[in-house]
Amino acid sequence: MNKPEKRIQVGPCSASIFANEVETAQGKIVQKHVVLQRVYKDKEGKFQHSSSFGMNDVPKAILALQQAYEHVLLEVQATPASK
């Protein structure tokens, strides 16, 4: 898997932004995708990842997603073709 171009961490929740090049009828474009996950330690003390969020994690997940959205939006607005 490719490395994320940016990773936003809020407590145990993280939003990782990936840039994927896609071929379209108009040529190649870059699409952004966000992966949301929560990190925790298992019984053996090893770090694990989950896509399940407890009620206390939901606000942190929302904040991580909001910051990821702002990052992508600001990047798009800074692109000369989008002005």
pTM of the model as a whole: 0.81
* Residues whose CB is less than 8 angstroms from the CB of residue 10 and which lie 6 or more positions away in sequence, other chains included: 60, 61, 63, 64, 67
Q: What would the pLDDT profile of 11-31 be if each residue is shown by its tens digit? A: 999 999 999 999 999 899 889
Kind of pairing, strands 13-24 and 47-50? Answer: unpaired
Across the range 61-77, mean pLDDT stands at 93
Q: What would the pLDDT profile of 42-58 be if each residue is shown by its tens digit? A: 999 999 999 999 999 99
- Give the pLDDT confidence score for residue 79 in this predicted structure: 73
Longest dimension (CA), the chain: 52
The whole-angstrom separation of Cα 44 and Cα 39 is: 14
Better pLDDT: 76 or 36? 36
